[in-house]
Amino acid sequence: MTESAEINANINPPACVIKVRMRDPEDRTPEYEELLNGWEKWGLEDIMHRLNSADWRFCVSASGPFGEVVFLKLLEAANNPNIPFELIEEVVRTALRTRVGSVGTNVFTRVAIFDGEQMICDFFKEFIKHGKFDDRYYNLIYEMLTNQTVENISYPLGFLMPNCTGWDEEVFAKLPSEMQKRLSSKSFHAGEKSDRCYALLSNASFGM
C-alpha cells in the first residue's frame, strides 16, 4: 500500500447530516455566484480566504448557504485526522466574528435565519463526538453556543437549540457536567439597549 493510500484509509467519511441549500438561480446575485462558486471542492483554507476577503456588506443573500457550507466543511475536517484542530478552531472563530450586512449577524446565525436551526443541531450531534478524543472540541462547542455579536442583535446559537430534535440526548447530555452547569446558568441581553435578559437554554426572561 502506498503512503497516499495509507493516509486515505485513515480518513473517516464525513457525516452527511448537512445538505447545503442553494437559492433558485433567479434569486442569485452576482455576489452570491462569486462567493459560492465551486464550494463543493473547498477546503478550510478556501473558507478562511472568503471569510477574510469577501465584502460581507453585499453578501447577505449568500450568507445562509455559505454558513451551511462552513458547517459541512467543519464536519469533513473533524473527520480527517490530517487536518489540525487549530485550523478548525481558526475557521470557527473567524466565522463567529465575521459580520454580515448591516445588522450584525455572523455566518452561523445566518443559517438559523435561513430556517436552519435543526441543521445546526444536527451539526453539533456529529461535532461533539470528537470531544471524546480531544477536550478542545467541547470548549469550541461552548464558544459557538454562547457567542453573541457585539451589537447584541442576534440570539446565540445555544438559545435556538433546546427545541431541536436530539438536542437534550445527543448534544447537551454528552457535554462535560461542569460545562452543562455553565450553560444552564448562562444568560444574555436581548438587545444592546434592552433591559431584558434571557436564560440561554430556555425562553425564561427577566429584567435587569
Establish if 203 belongs to a structural domain.
no
Establish if 200 belongs to a structural domain.
no
Tally of domains in the chain? 1
Whether residue 119 contacts residue 67, with contact meaning beta carbons closer than 8 Å, is answered with: no
> What is residue 197's predicted lDDT score, i.e. its pLDDT?
82
Domain of residue 76 covers 3-156
Establish if 28 belongs to a structural domain.
yes
Q: Tell me how far CA of residue 183 lies from CA of 119, 125, 156, in angstroms.
A: 21, 17, 12
Establish if 201 belongs to a structural domain.
no
pLDDT by 10s per residue, the chain, length 208: 333 333 343 455 555 678 899 988 888 888 899 999 999 999 999 999 999 999 998 899 999 999 999 999 999 999 999 999 999 999 999 999 998 987 678 999 999 888 899 999 999 999 999 999 999 999 999 999 999 865 555 789 999 999 999 999 999 999 999 999 999 999 887 666 566 788 999 867 665 4
pTM: 0.87
Q: 169: which 3 cell numbers?
A: 440526548
- Rounded Cα distance between 203 and 201, Å, is 7
